[in-house]
Amino acid sequence: MKTKWFHGWWFQSLGLAGMLFAGSAALDAHHSEVVYDNSRTIELKGTVTEFRLTNPHATIHFTVGNALGVQEEWIAEMGPVGTLVRAGWNKTTIKAGDQIEMVSYPHKDGLHRIRFLSLVVNGKVIRERDE
């Protein structure tokens, strides 16, 4: 009888620990804006390779020519789909091949990943939120 209680308690504790671990990983992934330096902005000009209007964060994938003329892959992280849709975004707002000029917060570690603020495409300024 004591053995059954021990095994039941053990498996319940293991299951609870697993849920807490999985929940903390998801929380950390969702609140990732701390990796961006919001004390300064950078401007990048490039070509869109892909626009993903998906949760939890939409992304713009694009290439930027560096000082040596080599094309570098960049990713701009955006807000959730609901926020973007309310501001007028849809799956065709920008598309592969579009030339863009983007203003963003840079990644603190110098990665080619940025936090989107606004962009210019076809002469039109587009922001994440409707202002």
8 pLDDT band, cuts 50/70/90, is: low
Domain check: are 62 and 92 in the same one?
Answer: yes
Three-class SS of 106-117: EECCCCCEEEEE
Q: What residues are paired with 99 via a beta bridge? A: 47
Domain check: are 2 and 38 in the same one?
Answer: no
Q: Any residues with CB less than 8 A from the CB of 99 and at least 6 apart, and which?
A: 45, 46, 47, 48, 121
What is the number of domains present in the chain? 2
Range of the domain at 26: 1-31
Closest CA to 50 of 107, 101, 94: 94
pLDDT at 24: 43
Domain check: are 38 and 68 in the same one?
Answer: yes
33 pLDDT band, cuts 50/70/90, is: confident
Domain check: are 87 and 48 in the same one?
Answer: yes
Domain check: are 17 and 76 in the same one?
Answer: no
pTM, 2 dp: 0.74
Q: What residues are paired with 60 via a beta bridge? A: 51, 76
Q: How far is Cα 103 from Cα 100, in angstroms, rounded to an integer?
A: 10
At 43-98, the pLDDT tens digits run 999 999 999 999 889 999 999 999 999 999 999 999 999 999 998 999 999 999 99
Q: What residues are paired with 62 via a beta bridge? A: 48, 74
Q: What is the mean pLDDT of residues 18-43?
A: 67
Q: What CATH number did the domain enclosing 45 receive?
A: 2.40.50.140
Ramachandran assignment for 88, one of left (phi > 0), alpha (psi -120 to 50 degrees), beta (any other): left
pLDDT at 26: 44
Please give the share of the chain, as a percent, with pLDDT higher than 90: 64
